[in-house]
């Protein structure tokens, strides 16, 4: 009998909550202060987590450097806050949907102004 709410979904929600709290309150890197976690997808084997995020002042190089510097800290904090045996390998993916929607909105506004 399959559960209605799989373990990977519960762990995804917990990782999302903990990462949001870490980025908001404990990360000192100013490049990462504007990050917003949108979604976390954990693989069914619980070994990999893909974190989708957006940032208000996004500079890809600065974010990549900041995330690489902060990865050990993030994993250590997650291991202390979560009750799972292991912490999934974290992969951060910038979600371009908001940028594309904004550009599309601008194009439509320009089209209707003409």
Give the pLDDT confidence of 11-54 residue by residue, as tens digits. 999 999 999 999 989 988 887 888 889 999 999 999 999 999 98
3-state DSSP assignment of residue 102: helix
Q: Interior CA angle at 75 toward 43 and 52, to 5°?
A: 50
Q: Mean pLDDT across the stretch 95-110? A: 80
Label residue 112 by pLDDT band (50, 70, 90). confident
Q: 7-113 is classed in which CATH architecture?
A: 2-Layer Sandwich (3.30)
How far apart are alpha carbons 112 and 17 in whole angstroms? 41
Residue 88 has pLDDT above 90, yes or no: yes
Residue 79 has pLDDT above 70, yes or no: yes
Which residue, chain included where needed, has tokens 């980025």? Answer: 23
Would you list the domain boundaries of the chain?
7-113
Label residue 1 by pLDDT band (50, 70, 90). very low
pTM of the model: 0.80
Q: Given this model, what pLDDT does residue 50 score?
A: 96
CB 90 within 8 A of CB 75: yes
């Amino acid at each position: 009998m399959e559960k209605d709410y799989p373990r990977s979904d519960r762990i995804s929600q917990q990782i999302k909550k903990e990462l949001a709290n870490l980025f908001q309150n404990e990360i000192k890197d100013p490049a990462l202060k504007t990050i917003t976690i949108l979604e976390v997808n954990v693989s069914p084997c619980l070994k990999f987590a893909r974190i989708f995020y957006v940032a208000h002042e996004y500079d890809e190089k600065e974010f990549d450097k900041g995330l690489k510097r902060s990865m050990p800290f993030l994993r250590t904090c997650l291991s202390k806050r979560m009750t799972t045996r292991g912490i999934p390998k974290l992969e951060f993916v910038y979600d371009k949907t908001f940028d594309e929607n904004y550009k599309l909105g601008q194009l439509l506004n320009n089209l209707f102004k003409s």
